[in-house]
Structure 1
């Protein structure tokens, strides 16, 4: 029997905890119904000064107990202020390091990857997180090999998953590894999970950071966002900004995590996605209104960023 420890961090997302408990309890029930030993012992883990001593029908055990677990799962966070959230949950980092050193595996749901990233254990490892949090994650943890398009990653004993329902794919991955394919398929059928979804890039929304005080970068962002539909080069769009191109690029990437050219491309792709979702425009009109003049270049860039063709995206997400 494997011991599962679920961290009850500050600002945890309820959906994360509920999904973890529901899936592992279901797998235990499947085994019990087949008169087999249940594979998982589930523990909720908190800190000594926690007010609540029980949650979701489980007693909350202290992370300061000496018991070793086989797998620790870190839920997603609700707070948008990630630096403050990590500070509030820093007490868990020594526990993660100690348990990993003892042989425990660690998995993260969605933005829970930020806490694992803060531990340093992900340095040099592959990982993913919520697709809209990837740029922030990449800036915070540049030594991590971020795979923004992936639904689930595994690098040795470290597992991460993308946003929201990607947690179910992580749990299926773990069940497949610990209990075999038959049990993973049985669980997937019960929860109606498409087991073959391995990408999350088409769920992304380009939400560039504007919470900064760099007026030069803010000016470049405003010019790009106001004029992206013009088939102009990035040099033409930012030519009136009183600074050298090299300085603009350096400061722009430092603040936003991407270059001005990448910012322009992502702005255009986001505009194209909205047109595909909300209008019935012909594809050539979508391409033109998004700032492209070459249909081949547009389709190539769209697929690279979104993970599917423009037509496939429209079929999947168009509001009817």
Structure 2
């Protein structure tokens, strides 16, 4: 029997924990219905003892355990965080970092779901290894853990005994992967059918929403952001957009990258692509109009940038996300 430990952190996302329990309990149920022993012994562990008596930390049929109690797990799952202040969430759960390291040292496999990758990253175990997380948290993750080989487009990653998944429904793909490894492909397929999971989704790029924080104190950078966001639809150069900013091009280029983490050109491209995505999602306009209104005058260049950024062609994106009536 595989000893599966689910870590209840401070600020865990209830949906993440509930989904994990539902899937692995269903696997156990399928086995027992077929007359076989359940493959997983599921235990819940609290990242600190104060959670043991905290309202909401209990799940039907489970008595959460302390990570301070002697235990040796085969597989440990780290759910997503609800707290958007990830640094604060990590600090609140720091006692779990040494526990995860010790469990890994003793042979456990570790798997994080969505932003749970930040806690796994804090262990240092991902340094030099591949990982993913929620697509919208990738920039923050890369900044916090520069030694991790982040693969932002991936739904699931595995590097040795370390596993990570992208955002939200990508968690189900990681669970399927773990079930396939531990229980075989037939069981994974049965679970995929029961939970209506598309087994062939390997990328999460098209779920990305481009957003750069304005919570900084650089007025020149804020001015450049504003000019790009209001003038992106004009097929002009970045030099034309920032010509009225009272700073040299070299200075604003350097400051913009330092504050936002990306270049002015990248900011303009991503702003245009985000505008195109909205047009493809919300209107039935011809592709030539979408291209023009997004600030491009070269369809070939537009399609190349769109595919690189989104992971699919503009037509494929519209087919996937447009819910209106076609003209």
TM-score interval (norm. to shorter): over 0.9
Task: Determine the structure 1 residue equivalent to 2:272.
Answer: 268
- 1:182-232: CA deviations, max 9, x gaps? 111111111111100011111111111111112222111111111111112
**CA deviation after TM superposition for structure 1 residue 55, in Å:** 2.5
Task: Determine the structure 2 residue equivalent to 1:317.
Answer: 321
Matched, 1:102 2:102: no
Q: TM-score, normalised by structure 2?
A: 0.95
**CA deviation after TM superposition for structure 1 residue 318, in Å:** 1.1
**CA deviation after TM superposition for structure 1 residue 84, in Å:** 1.3
The within-5 A match list for 1:1-320 is: 1-46=1-46, 47-50=48-51, 51-52=53-54, 54-320=58-324
Aligned residues: 320
Q: SS at 2:42's partner residue?
A: strand
**CA deviation after TM superposition for structure 1 residue 54, in Å:** 3.4
Provide the rounded CA distance (Å) in 2 between the counterparts of 1:33 and 1:63: 32
Provide the rounded CA distance (Å) in 2 between the counterparts of 1:75 and 1:254: 32
RMSD across aligned positions (CA): 1.3
Structure 1 residues 90, 246: CA separation in 2 closer, same or farther (over 3 Å shift)? farther
**CA deviation after TM superposition for structure 1 residue 138, in Å:** 1.4
**CA deviation after TM superposition for structure 1 residue 45, in Å:** 0.5
Provide the rounded CA distance (Å) in 2 between the counterparts of 1:70 and 1:238: 56
- Contact map agreement 1:13 1:78 (CA 8 A) in 2: yes
Provide the rounded CA distance (Å) in 2 between the counterparts of 1:98 and 1:189: 36
- 1:54-105: CA deviations, max 9, x gaps? 3342110110112110111111111111111111111211111111111111
- Contact map agreement 1:138 1:257 (CA 8 A) in 2: no
- 1:8-31: CA deviations, max 9, x gaps? 111111111011101111111111
- Contact map agreement 1:269 1:290 (CA 8 A) in 2: yes
Provide the rounded CA distance (Å) in 2 between the counterparts of 1:60 and 1:120: 26
Question: Which residues of structure 1 form unaligned runs of 5+?
Answer: none
Q: SS at 1:57's partner residue?
A: coil
Provide the rounded CA distance (Å) in 2 between the counterparts of 1:107 and 1:316: 29
- 1:116-160: CA deviations, max 9, x gaps? 112211111111111111111112211111111111111111111
Provide the rounded CA distance (Å) in 2 between the counterparts of 1:156 and 1:250: 39
Provide the rounded CA distance (Å) in 1 between the counterparts of 2:14 and 2:110: 19
Structure 1 residues 124, 244: CA separation in 2 closer, same or farther (over 3 Å shift)? farther
Structure 1 residues 245, 120: CA separation in 2 closer, same or farther (over 3 Å shift)? farther
- Contact map agreement 1:43 1:58 (CA 8 A) in 2: yes
